[in-house]
Structure 1
Amino acid sequence: MTTLACIIRPSVPPARIVPLARAVEAAGIDEIWLWEDCFQTGGISTAGVILAATERVRVGIGVLPTPLRNVALTAMEIATIEGMFPGRLIPGIGHGVQPWMAQVGAKAASPLTLMREYSTTLRALLAGERVTTSGRYVRLDDVALDWPPAGAVPVPVAATGPKSLRLAGEVGDGVVLEGSVGLPGLPAVLEHLAAGRAAAGREDDAFPVIQFVSGGTGPDAAARLRAELTAWGRDVPDDTAMAGYAVWGDAGAIADGVRRFGTAGADTVAIQPTEDDPDLERLAAVLGEAQALLRQA
């Protein structure tokens, strides 16, 4: 069954995050996903607070920008949360939005090289290994975590272009796909991922595909979604075109939309509200009803 998740966007004020996360969990949804956008809420801090304020929901971070953090610090943060809340954190990593990385003086000349070095080193540290490495970007001298996770912590990688997607297939424990991929782009994405996995001999490894999909409910949902998708450069002149990038309507319609993405190859469909959604708690409740319908199928 395709997992239905709810995204809490970083534009949500920090004071609202815990009540909203509790509403998502109460609705019966299994996963909450976060963005980390400059210069809004922090991914690690937000994830930790949500996990402490809830009982069972898993929290995915989609994603932590690798140029912003030393890999040892990222490993420390992930291992600490995993030690407190085993199996409930899904820490995704990505290149970061390049203009923002330049704005903070952290832009890498070769994001692909950075990702290869970073992801390989992060996985080794989380596995309890002692690491010495001297790469172009990642340099560690005899580093090991005092409190490595007791079990494996999958680290998915965000990717968009063909080279990044192939690299995600090689070094990631899954992939996080932003909403621009949609149903039209998913077949090519899966081909690039498969090529990367084959090159690394990882065809048999678990590799979840996490797809962000715009969503909403209520009488104005379609209009809000169309306006936001159009502003982001999507060509959605009618409902048929918009259905390639969004799900909306009542619980049944949303469940049908999630099934479409699941059939196309997404393992997790993370519903992304519009920034102007007037009632996020109502959306969480409808997503919970859609989740119940998916479980019945």
Structure 2
Amino acid sequence: MRIGVGLLPVPLRNVAITAMEVASLHRMFPGRAIVGVGHGVQDWMGQVGARVESPVTLLREHLVALRALLGGERVTTDGRYVRLDDVALDWPPEGGGGGVLAGATGPRSLRLTGEAADGTILTASTNPEGVRKARQLIEEGREVAGRGAGPHPVVVYLLTATGADAADRLRAELADEGLESVSDLGVAGDAGAVAKAVERLAEAGADTVVLQPTGDEPDPEGFVRFAAEEVRPLVP
């Protein structure tokens, strides 16, 4: 079983500490950890005194340094936010641990993930058309950085509700997030309906679709079982 972290907010973390922790995970559990980093929720970053003036600059510097450290490089850099003096991991993971994904929503951040990350994480506020647009922006970033060849996995969350009151719970969740006006967002229904929603996102360019239960999901364990035993067999 692979475990994804989506995601570690870079304003809260020194890149050297992140690299040490990620390397430890990869060395203890080879091939199992999928690591993502990102801006973090800006309001939350402000609440804890970690909000920065340029989140995109910070994410770029963090990604470049983190991927280099995990790749076994010795890094010296004096950026706007990330400063390292001759830093290297004693025990880097083999092959860099499989790469680092980055979360993004806006155009600048999406292009940045194409330039500097090994994959992109999209939130549950992304419908199939949003995935298509994200793919285009990611590819623009990859082209600028000369990284057009090779895979760039895209992960997207799908807000999912099932059961007798599924439609009401999904509608309430979208309203609470201010997303009720966004078309084709989230899915409520049985395994067949959920599988079709997954396929729509995959056809739009998603490589991995994560089913995200509503905040008031009455049976989280049952939801996981539903995803694994009922939905997964219906997805090609």
Give the structure 2 partner of residue 30 of structure 1: none
> Which of 213, 222, 233 is equivalent to 1:282?
222
Q: Is the 8 A contact 2:171 2:180 kept in 1?
A: no
> Which of 89, 103, 106 is equivalent to 1:158?
103
Residue 258 in 1 paired to residue 198 in 2? yes
Deviation at 1:236, TM superposition (A): 4.9
Pairing 1:1-297 to 2, within 5 Å after superposition = 57-153=1-97, 154-236=99-181, 241=183, 244-288=184-228, 289-294=230-235, 297=236
Deviation at 1:293, TM superposition (A): 2.1
DSSP 3-state at the match of 2:93: coil
Deviation at 1:247, TM superposition (A): 2.3
Deviation at 1:105, TM superposition (A): 1.6
| RMSD over equivalenced CA pairs, Å | 1.3
Q: Is the 8 A contact 1:218 1:250 kept in 2?
A: yes
Whole-Å separation in 1 of the counterparts to 2:70 and 2:52? 24
Deviation at 1:67, TM superposition (A): 0.7
Identity %, equivalent residues: 54
Q: Is the 8 A contact 1:95 1:158 kept in 2?
A: yes
Whole-Å separation in 1 of the counterparts to 2:49 and 2:209? 33
Q: Is the 8 A contact 2:67 2:100 kept in 1?
A: yes
In the alignment, residue 269 of structure 1 is paired with which amino acid? V
Whole-Å separation in 2 of the counterparts to 1:104 and 1:260? 38
Deviation at 1:98, TM superposition (A): 1.4
Deviation at 1:235, TM superposition (A): 2.7
Whole-Å separation in 1 of the counterparts to 2:74 and 2:153? 28
In the alignment, residue 97 of structure 1 is paired with which amino acid? V
Q: Is the 8 A contact 1:226 1:236 kept in 2?
A: no
Deviation at 1:194, TM superposition (A): 1.0
Q: Is the 8 A contact 1:250 1:286 kept in 2?
A: no
| TM-score (structure 1 length as normaliser) | 0.76
179-188 or 134-143, larger mean C-alpha shift: 179-188
Whole-Å separation in 1 of the counterparts to 2:208 and 2:234? 16
DSSP 3-state at the match of 1:179: coil
Deviation at 1:281, TM superposition (A): 1.7
Give the structure 2 partner of residue 51 of structure 1: none
Higher relative contact order (CA 8 A, sep 6+): 1
Unaligned segments of structure 2, at least 5 residues = none
Q: Is the 8 A contact 1:247 1:258 kept in 2?
A: no
Q: Is the 8 A contact 2:129 2:204 kept in 1?
A: no
Deviation at 1:187, TM superposition (A): 2.2
Whole-Å separation in 1 of the counterparts to 2:46 and 2:4? 25
In the alignment, residue 40 of structure 2 is paired with which amino acid? G
In the alignment, residue 124 of structure 2 is paired with which amino acid? G
Unaligned segments of structure 1, at least 5 residues = 1-56
Q: Is the 8 A contact 2:72 2:96 kept in 1?
A: no
Whole-Å separation in 2 of the counterparts to 1:97 and 1:263? 28
Whole-Å separation in 1 of the counterparts to 2:11 and 2:222? 36
269-278 or 147-156, larger mean C-alpha shift: 147-156
Residues 211-269 of structure 1: CA deviation (Å, up to 9, x unaligned): 011002111111101110111111359xxx4xx21123222221111111111111111
Residues 273-294 of structure 1: CA deviation (Å, up to 9, x unaligned): 0010001122112211211222
In the alignment, residue 167 of structure 1 is paired with which amino acid? L
| TM-score (structure 2 length as normaliser) | 0.95
